[in-house]
Amino acid sequence: MPRILKVAAAQVGAVDRDADRAETLARLIALLDQAASEKVQLLLYPEVTFTTFFPRHLFTSSSDLNAYFEHNDDLTTSPSTAPLFSKAQNYGIDIVVGFAERTDEGKGYNTCVYYSAAVGKVINKYRKVHLPGTVEPFEDPEAVNQLEKRYFTPGDLGFPAFRAPGLLPTSSGDPVLGMLICNDRRWPEAWRSYALQGAELLLIGYNTVAHSPHLWGTTKPMTEEEAEKEALFHSRLVQQSNSYMNSVFSISSARCGLDDGKYNLIGGSAIINPEGHVVAEAKTKDDELVVAEIDLEECRQGREKTFDFGRHRRIEAYGRIGAQTGVVEPELL
C-alpha cells in the first residue's frame, strides 16, 4: 500500500539585517499560500525563519540581540509569528518553523518546531545540537562570523522522532518524522539517531554561507564562485549520502541569496529519496517552493535489505562513537 505525501521546502531569499519583520512574514505567508494552491500537506521553512541569520553579527546591546529571539510560549500567539501558524491551521498544512528561542531561565537555543494542523498545536520541538562557529568574532574585520557558540546553548532534547497525525489515512500508519537544523546535517550520528527510531522523513532548515575561509578552513584559495559551488556540493553530498545510508527521505530548505548586499548564502533546497536521488530541487536563490509527492513505502527497500539495522549493525564494534569526541591517533611504532 503506497503512503503518499505531498511535501515542500519553502526556500527564502535574502533577508537583510534591518528587514521589516512584517514584510518578511508576508513573504513566508505568500509561500504558504502557494503551497495551499498546490495541495501541499507538509511545508518546511529554513533555520531562524523570521529574520536574517543574525549570529553573523556581534551585538553589544542585549536589547538589540533579544529582538531576534522569541519566547517559546509566545511563538503561536505573538503578532510577529502567530499569523503563520493560524494560516497553516486554516489551510490544514503542517509546518516546520525555525526560531531563536529564549527560555524562562534566559538560555538561548537554535530551535525549530513542528506545528500539526490536525492537532492545532506544536507537537514536537528540536534544539540544534551541533553549533558551528566561534564564541568570539574573528580578528579579521573582513571575516564572516558565525557566533552561534556565543548566542546559543547546544540542544538538550536529543533527536526525538515523532509521528504526525492526519497526513495519511489512519490505516496506513502516521509517518515517523525527525528534524535537524543546518550544521546537524553534516553529522552522521544525528541521522542515525533518527533512523534508529524508524524515521521516514527528516526535515532540515539551513543558512549556509557560500564563501568563508575562516569558517570552512579551505586550504586552497578559491574565488567566490568556486567556493559557493563547493559549499553547495557538500550540502547536497551530506543530504544524499545520509538519506541513502539511513533509508530515509529528507527535505532541506535554505535561507539564501545576498543578505545586506554582501553576505552570500547558498540555495540548493532539495527533496531527496531514500536511495539518495534528488526528487526535486530549487532553481533559484530566491523565495521558491520546491514541491514533490513522495511515497514513504520507498524507505522499505534499504531498510529491509542493505541497511536492515537489526540484522547487520554490529554495535559491539561501535563503542568509540559514543565514548569519544576528538580524535585519538594510534601510538607511533
Q: What is the set of active-site residues?
A: 47, 128, 182
- What is the Cα–Cα distance from 210 to 184, expressed in whole angstroms? 17
Nearer to ligand CDT, 47 or 200 (CB): 47
Summarize as ranges the residues that interact with ligand CDT (CB under 6 A).
47, 132-133, 146, 182-183, 186, 206-209, 215-216
Nearer to ligand CDT, 175 or 267 (CB): 267
Nearest distance in Å: CB 100, ligand CDT: 12
The letter for the amino acid at 120 is G
- What is the Cα–Cα distance from 39 to 289, expressed in whole angstroms? 12
Nearest distance in Å: CB 92, ligand CDT: 30
Nearest distance in Å: CB 296, ligand CDT: 27
Nearer to ligand CDT, 233 or 318 (CB): 233
Kind and range of the H or E run holding 89: helix 82-91
Nearest distance in Å: CB 151, ligand CDT: 12
The three cell numbers locating residue 253: 530548505
Q: How many helices (H) and strands (E) does the chain have?
A: 10, 15
Nearest distance in Å: CB 263, ligand CDT: 12
Among 189, 195, 181, CA closest to 243: 195
Q: Are 252 and 282 in contact (CB under 8 A)?
A: no
- What is the Cα–Cα distance from 186 to 133, expressed in whole angstroms? 14
Nearer to ligand CDT, 5 or 97 (CB): 97
Nearest distance in Å: CB 33, ligand CDT: 27
Nearer to ligand CDT, 150 or 186 (CB): 186
Cα–Cα distances (Å) from 150 to 10, 100, 111, 145, in that order, read 28, 13, 15, 11
* 326: helix, strand or coil: coil
- What is the Cα–Cα distance from 28 to 47, expressed in whole angstroms? 13
Nearer to ligand CDT, 11 or 146 (CB): 146
The three cell numbers locating residue 319: 563503542
Among 131, 51, 39, CA closest to 97: 51
Q: Are 240 and 231 in contact (CB under 8 A)?
A: no
